[in-house]
Amino acid sequence: MKQNCTERGRRIVECGMDIAAGSAICRGDKNYMGNAYMSLPIAITVEGANIMTRSFQIIGQGLTRCHPHMSDLLKALQLPPSEEKHGVKIFVKQFHKIVGHGITNFFGSVSRGVGATFSSATRSKTAYKNGDELLAYHEKQLLRLAANFALTADLCFTLGGRLKFEELLMGRLADALGAIYLGYATLHHYDRRRGIEGLEALTEHAMLRLEREAQEALYAASENFPGPLGPVASTVMKMGCFPLGGLTRPYSDPSDTLTKEVSRLLTTPSEIRDMFQEGIYSAPDGAVHQMTDLINALPICVEADKVATSLRREKREPTAEETNLIAKADALRDALIQVDVFEHATAEEAQPGYVRPALQGTEERFANLDKTVFREAA
């Protein structure tokens, strides 16, 4: 979760930097993005750098620890020679369980894949507006993806110790696992906060993207399965995860219509915005705080935009109240786009003839420079 959340957080902050543009790189109290951007590398690198977590730890260490029978099999191999007969019995028993577990996962992946594909093909694009149907549908899709992942994890054991050197494969499987996990977290959040207007559209948008990510990560893994048994494992994986070929890859990115609906909910006063603002610090009245000022200015600016649109459409003069509203919105916009201005960083820099330390002695160095070499080169 740390790797997934910090990587997605990095992309969110980078998008915020794009929106804030130049004001996001001008240091000062008015810059509400700069500190978040500069602190991101801390989250990315501490407690195990994300590049190592994704390409090694999640799958390389988690695969044997999370398998229901592999741990007992490994313990049997570590028994002392005096318990060899007992160890062999345990090994054979656990090996049979592992094979049976793999066969069960294969057929479970096939059956759930076909069933989930059928439900995707027959689903209306507006079905998400019914909360119960939204939950039931996406739970079914996550069960299918979890079954696909379980089969893929079993096939990874064919690589033996080489698995820990296959960073590309482990990275793709980590992406798939992360998307599935976040999908369940998203549905849990929706179930807890049901009743918020617009939450269905937001949940649908998030789930479609996560399901698409998991599907494509698993498909890329099936296309590039490494090792001597790679072609065999790749074929088994495709048969188990995508038994009908492209038909069993039903997930696609959200439609433009749904994306625009989510965008509207996030950029206008709504219950969705109120939900996201719950964890944001709000300064008391009268205090200068850029984020609080932005939040407070949004309803006024949105209402002023509606009035301006109405005036253009109806080709009429504004009323006194509308004039005041537009003027207030313009004043707020002008104040919010300003950046911090510093006359001089120190008193020393304000003195006449001040030269930055990096430039001191530049004139002397140029005067003593042998210009013959430069003339010959020219």
* Positions marked catalytic: 47
- What DSSP state is assigned to residue 344? -
Token reading at 354: 């001040």
Token reading at 118: 């059928």
Gap between the Cα atoms of 47 and 208, Å rounded: 30
Gap between the Cα atoms of 362 and 340, Å rounded: 31
The Cα-based distances of 76 to 73, 89, 93 in angstroms read 5, 9, 10
Contact 27, 34 (CB under 8 A): yes
Unique residue bearing structure tokens 């003339």: 375
Token reading at 70: 């592999």
- What DSSP state is assigned to residue 375? H
265 sits in which H/E element: helix 256-267
- As a whole number of Å, the CA-based R_g of the chain is 30
Gap between the Cα atoms of 103 and 108, Å rounded: 8
Q: Closest Cα partner for 345 from 357, 337, 334?
A: 357
Gap between the Cα atoms of 263 and 254, Å rounded: 12
Contact 34, 13 (CB under 8 A): no
Half-sphere exposure of 310 (CA within 13 A, CB side): 12
Contact 272, 202 (CB under 8 A): yes
Look up residue 291 and give its amino acid: M
Neighbours of 66 (CB within 10 A): 12
Gap between the Cα atoms of 271 and 284, Å rounded: 22
